[in-house]
Amino acid sequence: MLYQGRWVADWQPVQAKDAKGGFVRQVSSFRNWVTPDGAPGPTGIGGFPAEAGRYHLHVALICPWASRTLIGRTLKGLEDAVSVSVVEPELTAKGWRFPKGRDPVTGATYLHEIYTAADPVFTGRATVPVLYDKQTGTIVSNESADILRMLNSGFGTLASGADLYPEDLRPEIDALNDRIYPRLNNGVYRAGFATTQVAYEEAFGEVFAQLDELETRLSDGRRFLFGGRLTEADIRLFVTLIRFDVAYHGLFKCNLRRIADYPALQGYMIRVLDLPGVRGTVSIDHVKRGYYSIKALNPTGIVPKGPALDWLRDA
């Protein structure tokens, strides 16, 4: 990790734990917003107006948080307006590394170099996604939830596609996000990186309680979480579901059931996967290689051959 802008220790997946030995996620440090006119957003400073070609995403295909932003970029038709760099799937001792040792936009070898260029005294882990401003050479945001909303509404007329955060559904979307995130999206990490049996079992129980709840919700035949309307809540859920049987069931010890054992959830996951452009944001190869390169959980680095995924096709 970085301490006051200097690399001081090999990369570790867990920065902190609570009194029960539970996983504590690092708080995002860059919270500015791209807005249509460059006015300040809900957090941070202004000065980041929507412009085609100005902004760049740094992502890892292993990472569910980064994948949120890739899917948002695709569904909002921003592929030509916002460029992308994909880091290598395997984590190194110095964190995320760019293919061939060089990011084509910044020239950085490791993602942490982009963090220290933006903040010379940055302390913490250099995480993805990063929304980068090529014009000013700084990080706009490293908070995936914010970036997803920026892609939805911050790029004004540059974006197209359905509104992923419609005003009439916002209270319901926020409430569902607030329920799914700690119990499932982050819950699998709380189980996988728990350092005590108590912390693991608490997270494990919440993961499967939430999956059961979602299976019931989707069993009425609805297409998406809010009926026929795709929203950001679907993107946020999908990125966890698509990784579950491949990584979380085995490596993170969330092994009570698979998504394949939930008919409604599996059907829903495939419907989202088959939306135009979404399949191209998913790499099961990167997911497997990336998660199983985490030495704290898999010291040998052996990547399993399975599971068999009949729905996979080209992902």
CA 232 to chain centre: 12
258 labeled part of a ligand binding site: no
215 labeled part of a ligand binding site: no
Asked if 110 is an active-site residue, the reply is: no
Q: What is the token pair recorded at 116?
A: 């220290």
DSSP states along 153-216: IITGGG--S--SS-GGGHHHHHHHHHHHIIIIITHHHHHHT-SSHHHHHHHHHHHHHHHHHHHH
Residue 94: partners with Cβ closer than 8 Å, 6 or more residues away? 7, 10, 11, 110, 112
283 labeled part of a ligand binding site: no
> Is the separation of the CB atoms in 40 and 146 below 8 Å?
no
7 labeled part of a ligand binding site: no
Asked if 63 is an active-site residue, the reply is: yes
Among candidate residues 55, 63, 115, 268, the one labeled active-site is: 63
Q: Cα–Cα–Cα angle for 143, 144, 150, nearest 5°?
A: 95
128 labeled part of a ligand binding site: yes
Among candidate residues 55, 110, 132, 189, the one labeled active-site is: 189
Q: Measuring CA to CA, which residue among 278, 288, 291, 281 is closest to residue 309?
A: 288
153 labeled part of a ligand binding site: no
167 labeled part of a ligand binding site: no
Catalytic residues: 63, 189
Binding-site members are 96, 125-128, 143-144
Residues that constitute the known binding site for glutathione: 96, 125-128, 143-144
